[in-house]
C-alpha cells in the first residue's frame, strides 16, 4: 500500500511517500515516518485523514492500533494522511511530577525559612497551630498527587507536549507561592479553633474520598492503559460524573475554611472553574459515547453548589 504523508498545507512530509504491507497498522506508518525523517518519533505525530473539499468539521484522527486499510476507500490501494508535528514530548508522569513538585517544596520554604525579612518584616515570627497544620495538609495533598501519578493513574496517552510543562508549572508554582506567602505571613490572623477543625476535618475526608475516586478510575483500565473512557460507577460516581473533581474542589474548600485567605479562595475559584469546565466536557463525551441516557440531576446540583463558591 502506498501512503502519501502531507502537511496541512499539502506539502510532502516524506518525499515519495511510504510503501507498506496491506496488513500494516497506523503504528507501522508512524515508525516508517520516523525512520525516514529521523526527527518525528511516533509520540510527536498526529495523523488525520484529509478533509474532503466542501466539507467542514473535525478531521478523523488515525488510531495507532488500527489497520491502515480501515482508513482506505474500498478498492483503492493508496492512502493520503495529513501529518502534524506535536512538538517535543515528555511523559505524563514527568509533567505531573514537576507541576506538583513546585508547590510541595515552595510552601514549606515560606513556613521554615526567614523569607519575610526580604519583604521588610524583621523580628521573631510566632507561628499559630493552624499555620503548622496547613503546611502539613498542603504537603500531604501534593505528596499524594505525586504518588497517585506514579502508582494509581492509568493514563491513556503516554506523552504530552513539553510546552505544557512550562504552562502547568507556571500555574501551580505561582499559586503555591501566592497562597504560602499569605498563610505563613507574620501578620496572619488565625480563625477560631472550631472553624479550623471543621475545615481540616472536612478537607481530609474529601482527600480520602478523592483518593478512592482515583482507585475507581484506575480499575476502569488494564495496567497497560487500555480500556478507553467508560462511565465510572460506584461511590460518589453514582451521583456525579466527575466525583474526582468534586472531591478535589471540596478538599480545597476545607483548606480555605481552616486558613481563610483571599489568595486561597482565588485559587479555589480558578481551580473550580477549570475542573467544572473539564467535568462538563467529560460528561458530554461520556453521554455521547453511551447509548444509555446518563443525565444526572446530581451533576446539575453539584455545579450549583460549585457556583455558590464564587
Closer residue to ligand NAP in complex, CB, 78/230: 230
Q: Is 20 left (phi over 0), alpha (psi -120 to 50) or beta?
A: beta
Give the DSSP per-residue string, 113-148. S-GGGGGT--S--PPPHHHHHHHHHHHHHHHHHHHH
Closer residue to ligand NAP in complex, CB, 83/137: 137
Closer residue to ligand NAP in complex, CB, 143/229: 229
Given the rule CB under 6 A, which residues bind ligand NAP? 145, 153-157, 210, 217, 220-221, 229-230, 232, 244-245, 248, 271, 274-275
Closer residue to ligand NAP in complex, CB, 23/277: 277
- Quote the least distance from Cβ 310 to ligand NAP, whole Å: 15
Cell numbers at residue 3, please?
501512503
Tell me how many helices (H) and strands (E) the chain has: 8, 6
State the CB neighbour count (10 A cutoff) for residue 124.
5
- Quote the least distance from Cβ 169 to ligand NAP, whole Å: 13
Contact 68, 17 (CB under 8 A): no
Closer residue to ligand NAP in complex, CB, 83/172: 172
Q: Taking CB positions, which residue lies at the least distance from ligand NAP?
A: 156
State the CB neighbour count (10 A cutoff) for residue 129.
10
- Quote the least distance from Cβ 190 to ligand NAP, whole Å: 24
Closer residue to ligand NAP in complex, CB, 84/218: 218
Q: Hey, CA dihedral for 224, 227, 232, 233, is it positive or negative?
A: negative
Sequence-distant (≥ 6) Cβ neighbours of residue 133 within 8 angstroms: 196, 200, 258
What kind and span of H or E run contains 3?
strand 2-6
- Quote the least distance from Cβ 117 to ligand NAP, whole Å: 31
- Quote the least distance from Cβ 285 to ligand NAP, whole Å: 9
Closer residue to ligand NAP in complex, CB, 40/252: 252
Closer residue to ligand NAP in complex, CB, 99/188: 99
- Quote the least distance from Cβ 93 to ligand NAP, whole Å: 10
Q: 25 to each of 40, 65, 249, 278, how far by Cα in Å?
A: 18, 6, 42, 32
Sequence-distant (≥ 6) Cβ neighbours of residue 175 within 8 angstroms: 103, 263, 267, 270
Residue the block writes with cell 473535525: 58
- Quote the least distance from Cβ 306 to ligand NAP, whole Å: 13
- Angle between the N-to-C axes of helices 92-112 and 129-151, in degrees from 0 to 180, rounded to the nearest 10: 170
- Quote the least distance from Cβ 83 to ligand NAP, whole Å: 23
Amino acid at each position: 500500500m502506498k501512503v502519501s504523508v502531507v502537511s496541512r498545507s499539502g506539502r510532502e512530509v516524506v518525499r515519495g511517500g511510504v510503501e507498506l504491507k496491506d496488513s500494516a497498522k497506523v503504528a507501522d506508518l508512524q515508525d516508517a515516518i520516523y525512520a525516514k525523517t529521523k526527527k518525528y518519533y511516533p509520540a510527536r505525530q498526529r495523523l488525520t485523514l484529509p478533509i474532503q473539499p466542501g466539507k467542514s468539521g473535525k478531521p478523523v484522527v488515525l488510531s495507532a492500533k488500527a489497520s491502515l486499510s480501515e482508513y482506505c476507500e474500498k478498492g483503492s490501494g493508496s492512502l493520503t494522511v495529513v501529518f502534524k508535528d506535536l512538538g517535543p514530548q515528555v511523559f505524563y508522569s514527568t509533567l505531573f511530577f514537576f507541576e506538583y513538585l513546585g508547590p510541595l517544596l515552595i510552601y514549606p520554604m515560606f513556613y521554615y525559612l526567614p523569607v519575610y525579612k526580604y519583604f521588610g518584616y524583621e523580628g521573631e515570627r510566632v507561628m499559630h497551630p493552624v499555620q503548622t497544620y496547613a503546611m502539613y495538609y498542603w504537603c500531604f495533598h501534593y505528596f499524594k498527587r505525586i504518588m497517585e501519578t506514579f502508582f494509581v493513574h492509568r493514563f491513556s496517552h503516554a506523552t504530552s507536549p513539553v510546552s505544557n510543562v512550562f504552562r502547568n508549572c507556571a500555574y501551580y508554582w505561582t499559586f503555591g507561592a501566592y497562597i504560602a506567602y499569605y498563610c505563613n505571613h507574620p501578620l496572619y490572623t488565625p480563625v477560631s479553633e472550631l472553624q479550623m477543625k471543621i475545615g481540616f476535618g472536612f478537607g481530609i475526608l474529601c482527600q480520602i474520598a478523592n483518593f478512592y475516586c482515583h482507585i475507581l478510575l484506575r480499575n476502569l483500565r488494564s495496567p497497560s492503559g487500555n480500556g478507553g473512557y467508560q462511565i465510572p460507577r460506584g461511590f460518589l460516581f453514582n451521583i456525579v460524573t466527575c466525583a474526582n473533581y468534586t472531591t478535589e474542589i471540596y478538599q480545597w474548600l476545607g483548606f480555605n475554611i481552616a486558613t481563610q485567605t483571599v489568595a486561597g479562595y482565588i485559587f479555589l475559584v480558578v481551580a473550580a472553574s477549570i475542573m467544572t469546565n473539564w467535568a462538563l466536557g467529560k460528561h458530554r463525551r461520556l453521554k455521547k459515547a453511551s447509548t444509555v441516557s446518563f443525565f444526572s440531576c446530581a451533576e446539575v446540583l453539584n455545579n450549583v453548589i460549585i457556583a455558590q463558591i464564587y
